Amino acid sequence: MTDHAASASKLEPGVSQLRCIACAAVGESGAKSVRCAQCGDLLEVAYPGWKTAAGMRAGGLHAAGLKQLWLQRRTSRNALDESGVWRFREILPALNDWNLAITLREGNTPVYELPSCGRVAGVERLFAKHQGMNPTGSFKDTGMTAAASFARQGGFRWVACASTGNTSASMAAYAARAGMRSLVLIPQGQITWGKLSQALDYGAVTCQLKTDFDGCMRVLDEVVERMPVYLLNSVNPYRLEGQKTAAVELLERLDWQPPDHIIVPGGNLGNSSAIGKALLEMKELGLISSLPKLSVIQAEGANALVRTMRETGGKKLISVHAETMATAIKIGSPASWKKAVRVLEATGGAVEQVSEVEIALAKAEIGADGIGCEPASAVTLAGLKKLVRQGFVKKNESVVLILTGNLLKDPDFTLKFHRGDLFAGTEHEEEAASVLSPRQRAPMVLDANANAVVKVLEYAEQTDPRK
């Protein structure tokens, strides 16, 4: 890949180091292990130079200058500048050579207003940043461009992940772009066809294990110990650095005026940690003057963080056996829970859980605003409704939902929803029938004549709920 203009390499890179979140030991950058060699906890990327004004000036990190530089790059044809991640490279770990960056022009995702969802939730200003509009259809691409590039820099031939589907799709794509091989471990029968087909299309060696996501993670940890493969799950600190840029891009789009609330779905808790880290760093760098509250929403059946906060005050992880139709977040033992607790506390955000029927309804409501997303993303709107009812989010406050995955990732869920079979035979059947039916639009089979279609059209007009 030779499409990175040389001009990028002239930039003063931000000096970064890997640091343990528990014992603060400094890790070896470029090492294979993504955990602390001293205590085994997770590492994060730290920027010691930011601690002093002189250090910040040396790195070219004055807020006004950065804002202008990042904006200017939007007109550039340089591949790094075209990436919605690397455009912000001053606040990312620097590669030894910028030509090592693997980019599919990730990021650059839209912020939409959601007027009818706002009415449903009871807030006046509701927006969605749609990370499902990334190259492989999920937010994972923003992290993967960073971590896969570091894998390439480290000379790894193989990269690997355990996944509920989106990470594997993304990793397989980025590995393929750089000629690396990829190994995917997924729970058999628990990821959507759309995601599985992406991994296959991009050439991953794909293993469906007879276990759940947490089981895949355990097996992969052992494989990584034994074989020369580089781990690209979100325990990889470079993933979170890339994912930070969703928040930076959002704030730039809002002219650096922070919203009152940002709401994200929680699975393995990498994304909430990344967005929280970005908010704290933007505040530290003077890019924003106040912190939005970052709230995390989980499915009731995969509510490890909710229980951890409620039952231990965030001190000790409570793992659960995960069950939810929002398969992307069907995770019982979230790896980045400590990082997520830290950002929840630092921003004053809430943690909440939502039921399966609430998720299905919220997904249809987002769809009806012409946006669409996958079920895991819809927990954000379902959670917002609860936070408004509890008074945590006020009617006149501005709220941004982070939608993490594209509607087309899980068409099966949408089809079952509209046909009315999503909850057939489950304990939620009765509740679903009454709550969801006004939103259901099942496709109709008709004789091939205009009369039949006209009749349907007339009926739809007479019964239009918006009239």
271 or 398: whose CB is closer to ligand F0G?
A: 271
Please report, for the chain, how many H helices and E strands are present, in that order: 17, 13
Residue 402, strand partner residues: 129
Q: Which stretch binds ligand F0G (CB under 6 A): 5-13, 45-53, 159-167, 255-263?
A: 159-167
Q: Which stretch binds ligand F0G (CB under 6 A): 10-18, 262-270, 314-322, 433-441?
A: 262-270
82 or 374: whose CB is closer to ligand F0G?
A: 374
Alpha helices of 83-133 — where are they, by DSSP H?
115-121
418 and 442 in contact (C-beta within 8 Å)?
yes
Q: Indicate which single residue of 269, 306, 384, 432 sits in contact with ligand F0G (rule: CB under 6 A).
A: 269
The reply to whether 295 sits near ligand F0G by the rule CB under 6 A is: no
The reply to whether 163 sits near ligand F0G by the rule CB under 6 A is: yes
Q: Which stretch binds ligand F0G (CB under 6 A): 12-20, 56-64, 370-378, 433-441?
A: 370-378
Mention every residue, 6+ apart, whose C-beta is less than 8 A from residue 108: 82, 83, 84, 249
The reply to whether 383 sits near ligand F0G by the rule CB under 6 A is: no
Residue 196 and residue 8: Cα distance in Å, rounded?
A: 35
The reply to whether 268 sits near ligand F0G by the rule CB under 6 A is: yes
Least CB distance to ligand F0G at residue 224 (A): 16
Residues 196-255 that bind ligand F0G (CB under 6 A): 234
87 or 140: whose CB is closer to ligand F0G?
A: 140
The reply to whether 142 sits near ligand F0G by the rule CB under 6 A is: no
The reply to whether 265 sits near ligand F0G by the rule CB under 6 A is: yes
CB count in 10 Å sphere of residue 429: 14
Q: Indicate which single residue of 377, 380, 398, 414 sits in contact with ligand F0G (rule: CB under 6 A).
A: 377
Total number of residues that touch ligand F0G (CB under 6 A): 23
Which burial class, exposed, middle or buried, applies to 25 when counting CB atoms under 10 A from its CB (0-12, 13-18, 19+)? middle
Q: Indicate which single residue of 93, 107, 259, 267 sits in contact with ligand F0G (rule: CB under 6 A).
A: 267
Least CB distance to ligand F0G at residue 102 (A): 18
Of 263, 256, 330, nearest to 128 by C-alpha is 263
Q: Indicate which single residue of 374, 380, 417, 423 sits in contact with ligand F0G (rule: CB under 6 A).
A: 374
Residue 349 and residue 296: Cα distance in Å, rounded?
A: 8
The reply to whether 329 sits near ligand F0G by the rule CB under 6 A is: yes
290 and 345 in contact (C-beta within 8 Å)?
no
Of 137, 111, 119, nearest to 384 by C-alpha is 119
Mention every residue, 6+ apart, whose C-beta is less than 8 A from residue 130: 109, 110, 111, 112, 371, 373, 403
**Using CB under 6 A as the criterion, which residues of the chain lie in contact with ligand F0G when the complex forms?**
138, 140, 163-167, 234, 265-272, 328-329, 374, 376-377, 404-405
